[in-house]
Amino acid sequence: MSRALFKSTSVVSAFTLLSRILGLVRDVTLAAAFGGARLDAFFFAQMMPNLGRRMFAEGAFSQAFIPVFTETKTHQPHEDVRELTSVVMGTLGGVLAVITLIGCLAAPLLVWLLAPGFKHDPAQAALGAGLLRWTFPYLMFISLTSMVGSVLNIYGRFAVPAFTPVILNLCIIGAAFLVPDNDPRAVYMLAYGVFAAGILQFCFQLPWLARLRLMAWPRWGWSDPRVRRIAALMGPVMIGSSVAQISLLLNTSLATLVGSGAVSWLNFGSRLMEFPNGIFSIAVGTVILPSLSAHHTQRSPRQFSEILDWGLRVMLLLGVPSAVGLVLLGGPLVATIFGHGRFSAEDVYMTTYVVWAYGLGFMGFALVKVLVPGFYARQETRLPVRYAMIGLAVGMAASLALFALARWLHFGPAHVALALSTSLTAWINAALLLRRLRRDGVYQPAEGWGRFALRLLLASLAMGALLLYLEGSLDSWLAADKWQRALRIAWVVLAAAAVYFAVLGLCGLRPRHFRPARVTDPT
């Protein structure tokens, strides 16, 4: 494995970090301007195209497209690669254009079916439908953006796709300031920002596609055997992705029944969980998929296993302290980041409970992002789907059961049950994926995992003890002004990070153990 893999991961992580920071700035801006309750309709409207994006673009399509495209690039002339780009873009765009049109026309029906809590407030239901008509087209543009980004990733141009999400955050932040937050049009401006971001993100990547001499007029190509093959590979993944999105829809629908603000609390809590997750686990998963596909095509099983091993170790090195931090420092993080303006103390507490629940499942989410490429790179789509369906079936049952129990017991933050069930789903999925890779001999752990795990445990315990000592009560954080909170959280996080890496260093772990050249001997 070359050093380029490590460099690519660093590039993706850096731009993903920038995107996540701006995502936090976006949510801080929205929380302060609108509070929790007023954003429920917008988050619902934004969720719908995002679900489709995960299903069509980042989910089934990209996992099926990358192996086929890599194989074509490896064995066929450049003109064939250019033609494949043309027919895939035209076919994907045509299908998504029809879906987008149907979604816009059926917006009131979608709100009625998927947000039952809005039925009791006709104004909220009408707002949700109106916003959805503007956000739904984002599905088509962001899916095409993801397709172009996959091509750029295969050619090693990781920076552009990693930077592209920044555009969405900038558009929404800008839209939030265009009209006063008490203006009835304010929430609609957010939807307009999403619509504009979809177009801008797609156009932003096209010049780099042209530099690769892959720009061609999109054309319908359903009869092309490669398109048919991608569609065949997509089928099983789409089933699994559909179950995942149904689970998310179920949780959102149940959240609308909790009361005003619950959808927003889940969204803000998820944002804090996704921030560290996006920095390294998604970045590692994005970078290793093309390399895994190439090694599978070249029949290099040893290098295939080494890449997986390297990815898992990097992910655990940074993921374990992130999970500990979310659980132990969830309240102060929410108070510092979101607890301003219209975001009340109740909003802070309710969002904190969600962060705790997601923190318990953080490593499950991160493991899945690194393990799934080990299947899709080999064009094995059925097993991950089967495992995802098992985990999601358990999670959906847990959602219904825990939510019903919380409502029966009159437990105020009933929405926490929904976050807990999502964490359970992630852990089940990750365990099944890892077990199968080990059983099939696809992944053979390198030497030194025992010592590596012990070092992580000792460092995490030391960091956790320090956090418990420094954290204090959530009320003390709420009583402080925003600058005092910011300085205090910065001090606590920096101190915890220093202790974590200091203990790792004292235990003998060094940066050279994570260099690609030493990936098989990180002890």
pLDDT tens for each residue of the chain, 523 residues long: 445 555 666 666 677 777 778 877 888 888 777 765 667 888 888 877 777 666 665 556 666 777 777 777 877 788 888 888 888 888 888 888 898 899 899 888 888 887 877 877 788 888 888 899 999 999 888 888 888 888 887 887 777 888 888 898 899 888 887 766 666 677 888 899 999 999 999 999 899 888 888 887 888 877 788 778 777 777 666 665 555 556 666 777 777 777 677 888 888 888 888 777 766 666 677 677 777 877 777 777 888 888 888 888 888 998 899 999 999 999 999 999 888 777 888 889 999 999 999 999 899 888 888 888 888 788 777 788 788 888 888 887 887 888 788 778 777 777 888 888 888 888 998 999 999 999 988 898 888 888 889 999 999 999 999 999 998 888 899 888 888 998 999 999 999 999 999 999 898 877 666 654 333 333 3
Return the sign of the alpha-carbon dihedral for residues 158, 242, 382, 96: negative
d(CA 57, CA 164): 15
Any domain includes 300: yes
- Do 236 and 382 meet the contact criterion of CB atoms below 8 Å apart? yes
The residues, any chain, with a CB within 8 Å of residue 182's CB and separated by 6 or more, are: none
- Helix residue ranges per DSSP H, 345-481: 345-360, 362-371, 373-376, 382-408, 416-439, 449-471, 474-479
Q: CA-CA distances (angstroms) from residue 438 to 206, 308, 315, 353?
A: 40, 11, 18, 35
Are 150 and 57 spatial neighbours (Cβ–Cβ below 8 Å)?
no
Q: Mention every residue, 6+ apart, whose C-beta is less than 8 A from residue 45.
A: 128, 131, 132, 134, 135, 191
What does pTM read for this prediction? Answer: 0.70
Residue 173 lies in a domain: yes
Q: Is residue 369 part of a domain?
A: yes
Domain extent at residue 74: 3-518
Q: How many domains does the chain have?
A: 1
User: What's the first-to-final CA gap in the chain, in angstroms?
Assistant: 18
Residue 523 lies in a domain: no
The verdict on residue 387 lying in a domain is yes
